[in-house]
Amino acid sequence: MDVSRRGFLATSVAVLPMRPRQLSVSCTLAESNRAFGEQPPRLPQARVKHLVESAAGYEAEDLSWLNEHGIQVGQSVPVQSPAWIRYTWPTDALIRDFGRACPVAGGRVIARLGDMPVAVRRGRFIVLGSPLGPHLYAGDRDAHRLFEAFLRSSL
Amino acid sequence: MKKSIGDTLIPRGWSLEQGLTLIRKAGYDGVELWLGGQPWFQMETTDAQVRELRRRVEDAGLAVSDVANTLDWDVPISSRDPAIRDKAARHIIRQIETARILGTDAILVVAGLVTEDTPYNEVYQRTVDNMRRLAETAAQARVRIGCENCCSEQKFLLSPREFHSFLDDVNSPWVGLHLDVGNIHDTGFPEQWVEINGPRITRIHLKDVLRHRGRCGDQSVYTNLFLGDNNWPAIRTALEKIRYDGWLVAEMESRYRYAADQQFYDTSAAMTRFIEGRL
């Protein structure tokens, strides 16, 4: 195939946005790192999304950088287990709590624990105040379904 | 979700018609029929008599939720004795046949019984092998075999992951879990059994449990709904999570000393609150 230099450059520019990872995941818990690492992004044409998972107080972490993006993650609160986080976006799902959860504010609420918002989306960010990774790691069906929906979702 | 109760709970001395009328009047949608448990449903009961049994159930305004049996404890499918295993297979096959006649798609079995003389590893392999064979009959009849978790009484399949692995080994969509949320007692938490075994649950037995009594005492550990230690809101949410919309079957061990029929009304009301999530 004969490709001119101009054509080659044009193609490269068009392809470039597809090449970075489609999902950047920030999480603190070791289990979450392993679990999210096993989940290959499925949609190569999707733009980059940032999934931020709080460790809910189990590990020291600083999520104050999210303030620059208009999102606030509060101090973790203990949860009377067993209780379930009720997700309403991008799909309905019930995910077991992880003993503690952080209230999250500053975006469209996508999950609540009782009345407390514990996950939001805003711009390219999805911020979880209750760990999802350990449930992926444990093979929870709803957690996998939810994560796949995150990958498919358009932000 | 629909409400059912076992015909073994029909007060002693009552006729089937009296029992079915009570069950309907108390607000149940169906009845669980126990093969071997009542005079009207025995191994000797003919197909024609089973058809007549269905007519009597339907005339009372009820459906058959599932077919259980009282025979597995004395005639276990995991026995070392091949003659006993054959006999067990016959009553399970009869359950499948009668389930078809009775218009239901599920049976309950107690699969596998570990004893001092019949060790776990033997019971496991034999039960898997026999369930695979019975699954073929079940598939032809389109009836699901629900293996009940009788945990401590069976000394077998004591945890939800163990049960999940067992079903993996049987490897048939026609064999699942008939979950009894009262039988888990102090070996775990029913809501976790629900989450882990999800769509493999065929039917659910409801009763409550008193964990502090332990299993070695002379008092029953089982009690009526909401009197024990089960976390009913957690169980309810777990069922919502797995989108269970099937039969709930009341299975009480102890009966009321007086006004035996009152137990049917009380249990039915408790089940309605559970279904509606008013806990």
Instruction: Quick: pLDDT tens for A72-84.
Output: 999 999 988 788 9
Please report the pLDDT score of residue A39 as a whole number. 72
Please report the pLDDT score of residue A8 as a whole number. 37
Could you report how far apart the first and last alpha carbons of chain A are, in Å?
A: 37
CA distances from B53 to A63, B11, B67, B143 (A): 66, 18, 12, 19
- pLDDT over 90 at A42, yes or no: no
Out of A133-137, B129-133, B177-181, pick the least confident: A133-137
pLDDT digits (tens, 9 = 90+) for B227-236: 999 999 999 9
Structural domain total, chain B: 1
CA distance to partner chain A, nearest, from residue B226 (Å):
17
pLDDT digits (tens, 9 = 90+) for B32-56: 999 999 999 999 999 999 999 999 9
Please report the pLDDT score of residue A40 as a whole number. 64
Return the higher-pLDDT residue of B86 and A43. Answer: B86
Cβ(B74)–Cβ(B122) below 8 Å? no
Burial grade of A6 (CB within 10 A; 0-12, 13-18, 19 or more):
exposed
Which amino acid would we find at residue B246? G
Residues of A in contact with B240 (CB under 8 A): 94
Please report the pLDDT score of residue B12 as a whole number. 87
For B199, nearest residue in chain A (alpha carbons)? A141
User: What band does A21 get if pLDDT is binned at 50, 70 and 90?
Assistant: low
Average pLDDT over residues B6-23: 95
Please report the pLDDT score of residue B271 as a whole number. 98
Average pLDDT over residues B79-91: 95
Return the higher-pLDDT residue of B48 and A152. Answer: B48
User: What band does A20 get if pLDDT is binned at 50, 70 and 90?
Assistant: very low
Please report the pLDDT score of residue A81 as a whole number. 78
**Strand residues in B110-226 grouped as ranges (E):** 144-148, 175-180, 201-206, 208-209, 222-223
pLDDT digits (tens, 9 = 90+) for B133-149: 999 999 999 999 999 99
Phi first, then psi, for residue A23 (nearest 5°) are -140, 125
In chain B, % of residues over pLDDT 90: 90
Please report the pLDDT score of residue A154 as a whole number. 78
Query: Nearest Cα to A41, choosing from A131, A152, A144, A127?
Result: A152
Mean pLDDT of chain A, nearest integer: 83
Q: Does B226 touch chain A (CB under 8 A)?
A: no
Interior/surface letters B9-22, b for 16+ CB within 10 angstroms, e for the rest: bbeeeeebeebbbb
Mean pLDDT of chain B, nearest integer: 95
Give residue B232's domain range.
Answer: 2-276
Instruction: Report the C-alpha gap between A132 and A118 in whole angstroms.
Output: 12
Q: Does B229 touch chain A (CB under 8 A)?
A: no
Interface of A with B (CB under 8 A): 82-84, 94, 96, 140-142
CATH number at residue B271: 3.20.20.150
Average pLDDT over residues B167-172: 98
Mutation target to probe the A interface, by most A beta carbons within 10 A, among B230, B240, B241, B279 is: B241
pLDDT digits (tens, 9 = 90+) for B245-277: 999 999 988 788 899 999 999 999 999 999 999
Residues of B in contact with A83 (CB under 8 A): 234, 237
Instruction: Report the C-alpha gap between A27 and A52 in whole angstroms.
Output: 6
Q: Does B49 touch chain A (CB under 8 A)?
A: no
Out of A7-21, A52-66, A120-134, pick the least confident: A7-21
User: What band does A47 get if pLDDT is binned at 50, 70 and 90?
Assistant: low
